[in-house]
Amino acid sequence: MYVNSRSRPFPYDSFQYTRRGLSGRDHYNTYFDNDCRFTLPSEFAKIAVVVTLATHLAKKKTLSRWRDLISPLLHVALPMLLILKQPDLGTALVFVAIVAGMLFMAGVPIWKLLLIFPGGFALVVLWIYLHLTVHSIHIPLPMHQYQLNRLLIFLNPNKDPLGAGFNVIQSRIAVGIGGTWGLGLFGAHANQLSFLPEAYTDFIFAVIAEELGFVGSMAVLFAYLLLLARGTYIAAQARDRYGMLLAAGVVAMFAFHVVESAGMVSGVMPVAGVPLPFMSYGGSAFLTDSAGIGILLNVYMRRKSSSPSSVPMATPVVYSKKVTQQ
């Protein structure tokens, strides 16, 4: 989505870099590249991965051996690599959260998950470190330079305040200006004066914090907490293993979106371009979130207590004629 750069209070080149490099949105992951943007296939891929991976895991009798984890990881690796190729780092990270949550609910030992995901994260950090420090040997990195910059600028946004660190700095300023009670609805200075890029999509939580303050932000996060808690309850009440995995995948997807969206505007998480469920602008994301809620409602409708065999049957009452003695 293109915005008139002349309305921004910083140079055009910086805006181009910030819009393309930090928003997580580009023309590679859309079907239409004109003024009428229609759909983001990567958004619908989240629901597709949840459904197909739940089917895959439900058919497995055991996940205790290492070789049992190869096929589920390859199942998610293919779409994730295609999305990284777009490039869309934020959506690719959502797939990591989905597979981690579903494997945990499927019964994979926690120590194996710690070796796979935190261990894989440590390898990625080591790879990036060697790429930046070892100059005698070229170590390729499967990401674009602006993606690497957004990860590195997370440690010190003031290193490039008008470039890669501009979004993070402005979002933190907006959160601080909100204070306890906020400036009121439609009173956000960073949003109205266009100081905050992508205020209606990836950085929507900064606008919420500026307009509603700390109290309103906590209320929004509490509403998301209720959603996640209810989704976890639905997963526990699912009738079968397949329904439980479906609900677990949707909850993991929502949880990552909320944590990343709220964390990156406050500077505690790297900027990954992830929309906030049901609040960020975008039809594809809204349809994906709605489909996730539909899956949760479907699983709850077929919960254990709704099974015909579990419903107690009423004892029939037999009426007999009273025989009177003469």
pLDDT in tens, 175-202: 988 889 988 887 767 666 677 887 888 8
Give pLDDT, residue 35.
47
Q: Is the pLDDT of residue 117 over 70?
A: yes
Give pLDDT, residue 26.
44
Other beta carbons within 10 Å of 267: 16
Q: Is the pLDDT of residue 229 over 70?
A: yes
Q: Is the pLDDT of residue 295 over 90?
A: yes
Place of tokens 């209320």: 219
Sign of torsion over alpha carbons 34, 36, 42, 48:
negative
Q: For residue range 240-262, what is the model confidence (pLDDT) as tens digits?
A: 999 999 999 999 999 999 999 99
Q: What distances in angstroms separate CA 166 from CA 176, 213, 262, one per listed residue?
A: 15, 22, 17
Q: For the chain, give the percent of residues with pLDDT over 90.
A: 41
Q: Is the pLDDT of residue 157 over 60?
A: yes
Q: What is the mean pLDDT of residues 127-154?
A: 81
Give pLDDT, residue 322.
52
Sign of torsion over alpha carbons 86, 90, 93, 99:
negative
Q: Which amino acid is at 85?
A: K
12: Cβ contacts below 8 Å, ≥ 6 apart: 5, 6
Give pLDDT, residue 46.
95
φ and ψ of 64, to 5 deg? -80, -20
Give pLDDT, residue 192.
66
Task: Give me the chain's average pLDDT, please.
Answer: 81
Give pLDDT, residue 186.
78
Q: What is the mean pLDDT of residues 81-89?
A: 85
Give pLDDT, residue 132.
82
Give pLDDT, residue 187.
72
Other beta carbons within 10 Å of 217: 22
User: Whole-model pTM?
Assistant: 0.80
Q: Which amino acid is at 208?
A: I
Other beta carbons within 10 Å of 31: 10
Lowest mean pLDDT among 64-68, 96-100, 101-105: 64-68
Q: Which two tokens stand for residue 244?
A: 């439980």
Q: For the chain, give the percent of residues with pLDDT over 70.
A: 79
Q: Is the pLDDT of residue 17 over 80?
A: no
Lowest mean pLDDT among 130-139, 206-215, 235-244: 130-139
Q: Is the pLDDT of residue 124 over 60?
A: yes
Give pLDDT, residue 75.
94
Selected residue with higher pLDDT from 47 and 322? 47
Give pLDDT, residue 246.
97
Buried b (16+ CB within 10 A) or exposed e, 85-97: ebbbbbbbbbbbb
Place of tokens 């975008």: 282
Residue 57 banded pLDDT, cuts 50, 70, 90: very high
Q: Is the pLDDT of residue 44 over 60?
A: yes
Q: What is the mean pLDDT of residues 46-67?
A: 92
Spans of all domains in the chain: 33-108+144-307
Nearest to 203 by CA among 255, 253, 271: 271
